[in-house]
Amino acid sequence: MITTPPELTQAQFRKLADIIHADSGIVINEAKRSLLVARINRRLRILDLQDFGAYCQKLDGADGAQERRHLLSAITTNVTAFFREPHHFDALSSEILKPLMADARAGKRVRFWSAACSSGEEPYSLAFTVLEALPEAARHDVLILASDVDPQMVRRAEEGLYAEDAVRVLGPERSQRFMVRRDDAYAVRDDVKAMLRFVELNLHAQWPFTGKFDVIFCRNVTIYFDGEARRRLWQRFAGQLNEGGTLFIGHSERVDGPAAELFELVGTTQYRRNAVPVQTTAS
């Protein structure tokens, strides 16, 4: 028997798009309608629901908050890779890490943040680069925070288990140094993991930080946000970076709006926080 796929009404589309926007800042416009349908269809099958009306009811029900997290996981795009946009890691090794590692050796606190870490390839690439610059970094006050709004991605990042295909780009030297073979996959070594902390964090919510960062990676995520949310985020990153700290963003992103005067563009999508104070009440 041929079954017709359920239809998404305009009211349901708006409701789902509004929930996603409220929870993550991600904009779902008409152009993304078929993507939304495909991704939520998968949830319908998993939950054994007949149509989108039943799904909307579930979102309004007692376990609605839990389902909203699944909805976010379903809708986020998690494409990533080890050493993606390698010029950023080159900039770290050639200029940024030298003074920071001297600070670490002198007992100072050094902090990195991968703010949309997906399945972990980005923060681990950061860790490998730091360890190449300072092999004993884990013995100093050096930490990498890896966060993402998608709980499934945070779990995968923390697990640190990667298929051979994903690891190939590391080459034999790095993979032998930083990974261990586990069955037909590769696991990040525990001594590397010791430098990282993983947390589920929505960039548009409150940030639980007490201190500032020296380097922030926020790459290939603001492209999914509307202009206002994106500009607010630049402002908040400026407030969260030490003077002279670096913000790396994705290849098709740029710092715009009032925050542009808080940064100097010093490389390809690489910004240095200047001394201009942040004026707004960024949290």
Ligand X SMILES: C[S@@+](CC[C@H](N)C(=O)[O-])C[C@H]1O[C@@H](n2cnc3c(N)ncnc32)[C@H](O)[C@@H]1O
Q: Quote the least distance from Cβ 118 to ligand X, whole Å.
A: 4
202 marked ligand binding residue? yes
95 marked ligand binding residue? no
In which order are the strands placed within the sheet that holds 185-188? 161-163, 185-188, 179-182
Any catalytic annotation for residue 60?
no
DSSP, collapsed to helix, strand or coil, labels residue 95 as: helix
Which tokens in the block code for residue 279? 């004026």
**Contact indicator for 269, 248 with CB cutoff of 8 Å:** yes
222 marked ligand binding residue? no
280 marked ligand binding residue? no
- By C-beta, is 117 or 195 nearer to ligand X? 117
- By C-beta, is 56 or 149 nearer to ligand X? 149
Query: Residue 218's closest CA among 193, 251, 264?
Result: 251
- By C-beta, is 151 or 244 nearer to ligand X? 151
Q: Quote the least distance from Cβ 1 to ligand X, whole Å.
A: 37
Distance CA(12)–CA(29), nearest Å, equals 13
Any catalytic annotation for residue 48?
no
In the set 23, 111, 148, 230, the catalytic residue is 148
List CB contacts of 245: < 8 A, sequence separation 6 or more.
Answer: 212, 213, 214, 215, 216, 272, 273
DSSP tag of 114: E
Positions in the binding site for ligand X (CB under 6 A): 24-26, 76-80, 84, 116, 118, 122, 148-150, 153, 202-204, 219-221, 224, 250
Catalytic residues: 39, 148
Q: Which residues contribute to the annotated binding site?
A: 78, 80, 84, 122, 148, 202-203, 219-220
From the annotation, which residues make up the binding site for S-adenosyl-L-methionine? Answer: 78, 80, 84, 122, 148, 202-203, 219-220
